[in-house]
Amino acid sequence: MDDKQQDENTAGDDGLGGEPEHTHDPTAPRPPLNDDRHPLASPASPAPHARHDKRCRANSPGPYSSTVKGMRHDTPAAHTAEAERLLRTAAQYPGDREPLLLQAAAHLELADDRPRATRLYDDLLSGTPAAPHLIRALKASNLWEYGHEAEARAIIDGVRRSRPADATPWEIAAETLEAHDELEAAEQTLTEAATLLATGAETDLPHPTRSLLATRHRIRRMLALAHDEWDTLADRLHPGTIPLDELHDPKRLWSLGSSDPAELQAEIARLRSELGTYRTALSRPFPVAVLHWPERELTELLTTYPELETEYPTYQAHLTDIEASLRELSAAGTPNLGIVRATVPSYEAFAASESSTPANPALLPQYATTLAARARATPWPPLRTEGCWCGSELTYGECHGVE
């Protein structure tokens, strides 16, 4: 569908004044403080990239709360209720319309209301969205699932011809083909993408490109193709303890029927490693996030609200605690971690919208949740050659990324 002249996703008036992160989703859930050191936020909704059923049912990048008390969040009714909540929020905050409508469409797919999800994708594409290729790939995946194969194929072909610079639309298109036993076409799609995107130093490749290479490796193993340079690169980039060749070996499925406890235990370890990889791939775009107060903002916060000094004893302790907590979460297998930048005006506006005082420490995780759920987070960890998240002039590898 041709894009028309209207950009619903540009950052604009957020309803609270000031810069975009001064906004608030009043319907966001209210998680407790993670510990006594700083607030930890998890997304207000799972925000799956609703590709084909395999990924939709694999679902969320971490814990999240149903907005319907007493209702399982994996029921169609709960997903419909969450979609409605997201649509109301999108109407209230037009600057965040695109990511919120994508979340809503994902929930509608999970509720098996695929025609309505398609209408949301069409609604986004009728303007000038920030990620048109991503939306088209998601739409194609959804269409194919309820009988519109020809249209889905045409959209996927269009995505491939447009050669997007982001790996995610390519991977969604390929996995849609894979889900419908089009393995050769899926491999060709991923090879085109690898040729286009997997260039330069391998340490600088972004996560979506690394995920694409791992998916390509898996599909090529299913096709019994010999390793090529991209497969070798995927092996080197794979962070898990189980090599990709083992994870993606089709023959390993036979071991699930083994009566040998040692073989079964080894297969369980492989499956856990693979599940971790999928969770990471599914985790975009809303991470489990930790608040970061820049030094001037933290000084202003504690001067104005000294009651919060127990949360933030010193600025350096605040920075150290952020990195330590994120590493701890990473070691525990939590995928898609991020950092959200806090400002005093934004926090005060949030507290006012909650009819509370900024001196209340219980608001801090709620504030972080709102920022994370509305795509304000910076992924952690950054590449070691990138600037450190703390804002110093050092690279991450020279600063908080030091082993």
Segment 344-365, tens digit of pLDDT:
988 988 888 788 899 999 999 8
* Structure confidence at residue 207 (pLDDT): 86
The tens digit of pLDDT for each residue in 171-219 reads 999 999 998 989 999 999 999 999 999 987 777 788 899 999 999 999 9
Span 355-380, average pLDDT: 85
Residues 6+ apart with CB under 8 A from 358: 301, 304, 305, 344, 347, 348, 351
Task: Provide the percentage of residues in the chain whose pLDDT is more than 70.
Answer: 74
Q: DSSP letters along 27-88, please?
A: T---PPPSSSSS-EE--SS------SHHHHHH--SS----SSTTS-TTSHHHHHHHHHHHHH
Query: Residue 22 pLDDT more than 80?
Result: no
Q: Which of 41-55, 239-253, 304-318 shows the lowest mean pLDDT across its residues? A: 41-55
Return the pLDDT at 157: 96
Is the pLDDT higher at 216 or at 55?
Answer: 216
When mean pLDDT is compared across 140-149, 315-324, 367-376, the lowest value belongs to 367-376
Is the pLDDT assigned to residue 94 strictly greater than 50? yes
Q: Is the pLDDT of residue 318 over 90?
A: yes
pLDDT for 281: 44
- Is residue 283 scored above 60 in pLDDT? no
**DSSP labels, 75-124:** SHHHHHHHHHHHHHHHHH-GGGHHHHHHHHHHHHHHTT-HHHHHHHHHHH
- Average of per-residue pLDDT across 245-272: 68
Residue 42 scores a pLDDT above 50: no
Summarize the confidence of residues 95-120 as an average pLDDT: 93
306-312 long-range CB contacts below 8 Å, 24 or more apart? 307/359, 307/361, 308/359, 308/361, 308/364, 310/36, 310/361, 311/36, 311/37, 311/38, 311/39, 311/361, 311/364, 312/38
pLDDT in tens, 326-346: 999 888 877 778 899 999 988
Are 265 and 311 a contacting pair, CB within 8 Å? no
pLDDT at 129 over 90: yes
Average pLDDT over residues 373-393: 86
Mean pLDDT, rounded, for 8-19: 35
Q: Residue 128: its pLDDT value, please? A: 94
Q: Answer for the pair 105, 138: CB distance below 8 angstroms, yes or no.
A: yes
Q: Which residue's entry shows tokens 């219980």?
A: 362
| pLDDT given at position 369 | 76
**Alpha-carbon distance 32 to 40, whole Å?**
8
pLDDT at residue number 274: 58
Residues 6+ apart with CB under 8 A from 64: 29, 42, 43, 44, 45, 46, 73
pLDDT above 70 for 257: no
Helix (H) or strand (E) holding 375: none
- Given a cut of 80, is residue 75 above it in pLDDT? yes
Query: What mean pLDDT is predicted for residues 216-233?
Result: 92
Residues, the chain: 403
Cα–Cα distance measured from residue 213 to residue 147, given in angstroms and rounded to the nearest whole number: 29
**254 — pLDDT class (breaks 50, 70, 90):** low
Residue with the larger pLDDT of the pair 56 and 132: 132
Tokens (6 digits) for 332: 């525990």
pLDDT at 350: 82
- Bridge partners of 290? 40, 339
Instruction: Return the structure tokens found at 5.
Output: 């002249």
Global model pTM greater than 0.85? no
Least confident of 49-58, 73-82, 207-216, 309-318: 49-58
- Point out the least confidently predicted range of 87-91, 277-281, 362-366: 277-281
Asked if 67 contacts 77 with a C-beta cutoff of 8 angstroms, the reply is no
Residue 167: the pLDDT is 95
Strand positions, DSSP E, 246-383: 288-292, 337-341, 377-380
For residue 319, which of 382, 383, 401 has the smallest C-alpha distance? Answer: 401
Where is pLDDT greater, at 269 or 307? 307
Report for 21-25, 272-276, 331-335: range of highest mean pLDDT: 331-335
Give the H/E segment covering residue 158: helix 149-162
Listed ranges 19-28, 114-123, 253-262; the one with the highest mean pLDDT: 114-123
